[in-house]
């Protein structure tokens, strides 16, 4: 199982991204998507502890983390630091929606980690 974690300031944006990917990739037998969005109070923001909870929610062969803006990156990096950077977790410094969508498509088609990372290179954030 491949695990995608979407880290967003907004619960609406994260669940919208999930809708979009599930709609465009109807067969997701190989892919599970978790959300780490908003704060504990439900306000806009990100939290390393919520990212950690999402990362730990599934035993996956590989976990790919996508993040939106600002503190989403720092919160994701901190979560991975606190977990001592498991070798099978990758923080993807790529466009949020396109990156998650591309990875869902490729993972579902059983493409390898290297193939996915190669494709994601083209979606790198500026």
Partner 1 sequence: MELQQQKQWLKNYSERLIEEAPMLNALDTPIGDGDHGSNMAKGAKAILEVLDTEIADQATLYKQVAIALISKVGGSAGPLYGSAFLAMAGPEHMLDKFSKGLEAIESRGKAVPGEKTMVDMWDAFLNEQTMAHLDKAIEAITAMKATKGRASYVGERSIGHMDPGAMSSYLMFETYLEVFS
Please give the positions annotated as active site: 9
Q: Which of 12, 24, 43, 56 binds partner 1 (CB under 8 A)?
A: 43
Q: Which of 45, 55, 63, 123 binds partner 1 (CB under 8 A)?
A: 45
Measured from the CB atom, is 6 or 60 closer to partner 1? 6
SS3 labels along 5-67: EEEECCHHHHHHHHHHHHHHCCCCCCEEEEEEECCCCCCCCCCHHHHHHHHCCCCCCEEEEEE
Measured from the CB atom, is 18 or 78 closer to partner 1? 78
Q: Which of 18, 78, 105, 117 binds partner 1 (CB under 8 A)?
A: 78
Contact (Cβ atoms closer than 8 angstroms) between residue 28 and residue 22: yes
Contact (Cβ atoms closer than 8 angstroms) between residue 94 and residue 125: yes
Q: How far is the CB of 71 from partner 1 (least distance, A)?
A: 4
Binding site residues, partner 1, CB under 8 A:
39-41, 43-49, 70-71, 74-75, 77-78
């Amino acid at each position: 199982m491949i695990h995608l974690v979407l880290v967003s300031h907004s619960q609406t944006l994260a669940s919208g991204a999930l809708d979009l990917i599930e709609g465009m990739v109807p067969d997701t037998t190989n892919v599970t998507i978790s959300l780490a969005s908003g704060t504990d109070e439900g306000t806009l923001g990100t939290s390393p502890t919520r990212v950690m909870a999402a990362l730990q929610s599934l035993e996956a062969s590989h976990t790919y983390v996508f993040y939106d803006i600002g503190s989403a990156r720092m919160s994701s990096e901190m979560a991975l630091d606190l977990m001592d950077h498991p070798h099978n977790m990758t923080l993807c410094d790529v466009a949020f929606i396109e990156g998650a969508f591309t990875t869902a498509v490729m993972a579902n088609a059983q493409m390898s980690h290297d193939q996915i990372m190669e494709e994601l290179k083209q979606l790198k954030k500026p």
